[in-house]
A and B are shown apart, each in its own frame.
Chain A
Amino acid sequence: MHLLKSPGSWSRALGWLAAVVLLTGAMLTSPAQAEDIVIGGLFSITGPQSYLGEPERNTLEMVVAEINAKGGINGKNVKAVIYDDEGDANKARLNASKLIDKDKVIAIIGPSLTPTSMAIIDITQPAKVPLISCAAGVNITSPVQERPFVFKTAQTDQMAVARIYQYLQKQKINKIAIITVSSSFGVSGKDQLIAQAPPAGLEIVAQEVFGEKDTDMTPQLTNIRTTPAQAVICWGTGPAPAIVAKNMKQLGLTIPLIQSHGAASKKFIEYAGEAAEGIILPAGKIAVYKDLPDSDPQKAVIKNYVEKYEAQFKTPVSGFGGYAYDAFNLLAQAVSKAGTDGTKIAQELQNIKNFPGVSGIFNMSPEDHNGLGPDAFVMVKIDKGEWKLVE
């Protein structure tokens, strides 16, 4: 029998492996001090959307260390317990209840995605634990009356679409093609693009989709080429939108390409290379913060975040980490006034006004738990590998 060749050594090896794994595990979980303020983080750190979760996790760890160096909140040390949901709804639910039950967090920052956020709302809401999501979907915070403990810091795709359509109207473009990714981000964007087109006087002449990990979109774009579209709008995150840009260039499709705010990262320019030139997109001000006037209240906030992040992680900053940054700062302000009671924190969060964050200026209200207006976006154009403000 195969197993009995030398089970002594194997079983010992297995035993050692198990012991090492468990011991390291025990060492890595340091118990929280009774006095600590414990907040939870739940991001898609691995899995297909890890490019969102990674900067969010990094950012949260960075700001927590920063606030502790300054003496914490109201003199209390802050501890962040961060879990990975791998982009899966069941995993998110499990981790959310773990954060609430085992780690006794006073609030949760994240998840990174719309589906994982939606999945945990009926865990955090009855537990009266404030949740500040970093995902784009409009439905996360609405209807607010049913979800008084749910907030979000990411700009909604509703505003991004409105901004793009405003721009297109100015350019006298009225026939557009849309190509969207088959993820929650893309589907939600597609719905908004379709819903807002008729009131903006735009006609969608082609609708295409692509997979998050697809590597060739020439067939879809070839299809678009046969339509009278005057511009292409691409809605996606990660490397795929860059491939769309490259494929358009390859096909000699010279009509303007407009990307979503999902492409508003330095990485996108790097991925798309020369094909990035001339692309227009709505971006958070983080993309062009250097061009902002000093009077803009966001400028100082963004500058501080970008410089610290890039110095610590040696990688270009993205707007995604900014969602976690804003979420933490909003939370810190609320906790400093309300203490650690969930209901009071939610009350405080709801009353925050004129709070300059990385993603925009937050004006929360009992009707709006996102608090951002269309001015959270600016239209930018890629010019010689740099973001430039248009308008």
Chain B
Amino acid sequence: MAPPCPAFFWTEQQCAGGPGSPLISGIPLEKLAELLQYLFSGLTNGAIYALIGIGFSIIFNATAIINFAQGEFVMLGALVAIALHSLGLSLPLAFGLAVSAVTLIGLVFERLAIRSAREATAISLIIITVGGGVLIKGLAMLIWGKDAYTLPPFSGQEPLVFAGATILPQSLWIMALTILLVVGLEAFLHFTILGKAMRAASFNPVAARLVGIRVSQMVQFSFALSAALGAAAGVLIAPITLGVYDMGTMLGLKGFCAAVIGGLGSIFGVVLGGLLLGVAEALASGLISSGYRDAVAFLILLLVLFFRPQGLIGRRPSRSS
């Protein structure tokens, strides 16, 4: 079946592949539309992976902890927003409240689980965050049950057509808000006192403490920030994927891949890693085999770790655990 004709750009004749059809180095229009479709799909998912990955990266830089409960923040964001929206709150309000609520949960999680275990080894910390993830997921299952829930898209259901490929308005929302959040985050980290203090604490906690930065507060703040980002990712993706109590685990792992691929030290690196991962997955499932889609993500992860462990554009980590 042919893709919808982008009549806005081309004539019917061109669409049918007739004379004047725009051929790029022998690739017919249909093939181009197909590739563009994979790209759209990949960029949408990639943006979400990037948001989740940044959450990993923020906490890792502040505490050298990989927070395996990160995916559950995503799930909570989606389910809380859905619950609030079904109570009659408007979408933006539900979005904001859900993000704030999950931020609070992130703070509580840090206080109860992480701070109590400050002297634990890296392996114990992994298990603590895994346990935390299991706990949050279990609680969500008790509260929301095992069914999935829907959230209406931010604007409109009708897909937009670009050069034969279609994209949902929600995907544009996801990409736009991701860009906004990333730029905002970078600005915050580089141009505000709090952000600078956070970066200082992550570069060298001892030196930071010497100049009067309360490192424990920065750690707490990093958990809040990454919970907020995770929740935002959850609300953004819920209209496309539905919200369900066990949606977080795989999303969390993918976000984590994105963070490692791009390099845990750099936010733009993580964004690049996320987008790359999303596009690679879409291409792999479209062109190679959809069964191995998830394997592709982890294969890239392995290749990056083996050949460029600092990530694609990451610096060498300042401390090794």
Contacts of A242 in B (CB 8 A): 242
A-B contact pairs, 28 of them (CB 8 A): A2-B118, A2-B119, A46-B146, A48-B246, A50-B141, A51-B147, A54-B145, A210-B290, A213-B247, A216-B41, A216-B45, A219-B37, A219-B290, A220-B285, A222-B41, A223-B34, A223-B287, A225-B3, A229-B1, A239-B242, A239-B244, A243-B240, A250-B159, A251-B166, A267-B147, A270-B150, A271-B150, A271-B242
Contacts of A54 in B (CB 8 A): 145-146
Q: Does B185 contact A (CB under 8 A)?
A: no
A208 touches B290 (CB 8 A): yes
Contact of A250 among B148, B166, B282 (CB under 8 A): B166
B242 touches A219 (CB 8 A): no
Contacts of A254 in B (CB 8 A): 1
Given contacts A216-B240, A218-B282, A252-B4, could you give 9 more A-B pairs where the C-beta distance is less than 8 Å?
A: A50-B146, A182-B291, A209-B289, A210-B290, A211-B293, A215-B251, A222-B41, A223-B286, A254-B1
Q: Does B294 contact A (CB under 8 A)?
A: yes
A28-63 contacts to B, CB under 8 A, are: 46, 48, 50-51, 54
Bin chain A's interface residue count. Answer: 35 or more
Q: Does A386 contact B (CB under 8 A)?
A: no
B241 touches A219 (CB 8 A): no
Contacts of B159 in A (CB 8 A): 249-252
Q: A219-B37, A222-B286 are in contact. Are A239 and B166 (CB under 8 A)?
A: no
Contacts of A220 in B (CB 8 A): 285-286, 290
Bits for B22-44, please: 1 = Cβ < 8 Å to A, else 0. 00000000100010011011001
Docked complex Cα distance between A227 and B2 (Å): 9
Docked complex Cα distance between A250 and B171 (Å): 11
Q: Does A203 contact B (CB under 8 A)?
A: no
Docked complex Cα distance between A208 and B167 (Å): 21
Contacts of A255 in B (CB 8 A): 1
A243 touches B147 (CB 8 A): no
A267 touches B148 (CB 8 A): yes
| Min CB gap A183→B, angstroms | 12
Q: Does B250 contact A (CB under 8 A)?
A: yes
Docked complex Cα distance between A58 and B167 (Å): 41
Q: Does A319 contact B (CB under 8 A)?
A: no
Q: Does B13 contact A (CB under 8 A)?
A: no
Contacts of B41 in A (CB 8 A): 216, 218-219, 222
Contacts of B286 in A (CB 8 A): 219-220, 222-223
Bits for B133-160, please: 1 = Cβ < 8 Å to A, else 0. 0000000010001111010000001010
A254-270 contacts to B, CB under 8 A, are: 254-255, 267, 270
Docked complex Cα distance between A226 and B37 (Å): 12
Docked complex Cα distance between A242 and B281 (Å): 21
Q: Does A273 contact B (CB under 8 A)?
A: yes
Contacts of A341 in B (CB 8 A): none
Contacts of B285 in A (CB 8 A): 219-220
Q: Does A214 contact B (CB under 8 A)?
A: yes
In the complex, the 4 A-B pairs of residues with the closest C-beta atoms, listed nearest first: A215-B241, A219-B286, A50-B146, A2-B119
A51 touches B37 (CB 8 A): no
Which of chain B's residues has its CB closest to A229's CB? Answer: B1
A215 touches B240 (CB 8 A): yes
Q: A213-B246, A274-B157 are in contact. Are A225 and B1 (CB under 8 A)?
A: yes
Q: A222-B38, A271-B150 are in contact. Are A216 and B119 (CB under 8 A)?
A: no
Q: Does A354 contact B (CB under 8 A)?
A: no
Contacts of A239 in B (CB 8 A): 148, 241-242, 244
Contacts of B166 in A (CB 8 A): 250-252
Contacts of B120 in A (CB 8 A): 2
Contacts of A211 in B (CB 8 A): 250, 293-294
| Min CB gap A185→B, angstroms | 15
Q: Does B130 contact A (CB under 8 A)?
A: no
Contacts of B148 in A (CB 8 A): 238-239, 267, 271
Which of chain A's residues has its CB closest to B294's CB? Answer: A211
Docked complex Cα distance between A255 and B2 (Å): 11
Q: Does A139 contact B (CB under 8 A)?
A: no
Q: Does B208 contact A (CB under 8 A)?
A: no
Which of chain B's residues has its CB closest to A48's CB? Answer: B246
Contacts of A227 in B (CB 8 A): 1
Docked complex Cα distance between A292 and B286 (Å): 42
Q: Does B168 contact A (CB under 8 A)?
A: yes
Q: Does B237 contact A (CB under 8 A)?
A: yes
A46 touches B37 (CB 8 A): no
B44 touches A216 (CB 8 A): yes
B291 touches A215 (CB 8 A): no
B290 touches A209 (CB 8 A): yes
| Min CB gap A94→B, angstroms | 20
| Min CB gap A181→B, angstroms | 11
Docked complex Cα distance between A214 and B290 (Å): 11
| Min CB gap A303→B, angstroms | 23
Docked complex Cα distance between A267 and B166 (Å): 27
A51 touches B146 (CB 8 A): yes
Q: Does A89 contact B (CB under 8 A)?
A: no
Contacts of B118 in A (CB 8 A): 2
Contacts of B145 in A (CB 8 A): 54, 315
